[in-house]
Amino acid sequence: MEFAALADWTVRPEDGIRHYSGIATYELRFDAPRAALATATSISLGQVREVARVRVNGRDIGPVWCAPWRVEVPKGLLRPRGNLLEVDVANLWDNRLIKDAQLPPVQRLTRGTYTKQPTDPLLASGLLGPVRLLAGTDARSP
């Protein structure tokens, strides 16, 4: 599935995305500005619901699980052109449980003792952004 812009999964029209529980991978190709090649650099994910793992050019550069939702990019990892940013985002189980509570037992995808009500509000999910490449002093300050 391609998203034209970052958005909360719960506002999507597709039922399978709105109630999805699991991991989704976001990918973006980008060119690095000269300043990012010459100084300390980090990637700010903006907001994530709930946790993320970040890779740049195939290298895992760490998990992000709380504000300020930022990870440092090791020096020398960025190239002037054609960088690949991959962000795996995992949300909570609640949205799937809410959907399952709306279904007859034989159609449910989950089983367990933790349950939700069919009318419970969905929890924001996904990479909400904005995603930014920060260089120099911006990369170091929260």
Yes or no: say if 26 and 89 are a contact pair by the CB < 8 Å rule. yes
Domain coverage including residue 127: 9-92+122-135
Neighbouring CB atoms inside 10 A of 37's CB total 15
Q: Does residue 114 lie in a domain region? A: no
Q: What is the pLDDT of residues 47-101, one digit of tens each?
A: 999 999 999 999 999 999 999 999 999 999 999 999 999 999 999 999 999 999 9
Q: Does residue 65 lie in a domain region? A: yes
Q: What is the pLDDT of residue 57?
A: 98
Q: What is the pLDDT of residue 1?
A: 85
Q: Does residue 117 lie in a domain region? A: no
Query: How many domains does the chain contain in total?
Result: 1
For the whole prediction, is pTM greater than 0.75?
Answer: yes
Look up residue 122 and give its amino acid.
L
Look up residue 93 and give its amino acid.
W
Give the tokens for residue 4: 């034209």
Please give the Cα distance from 22 to 55 (Å, whole number).
18
Domain harbouring 18, CATH code: 2.60.120.260
Q: Does residue 2 lie in a domain region? A: no
Please give the Cα distance from 65 to 54 (Å, whole number).
11
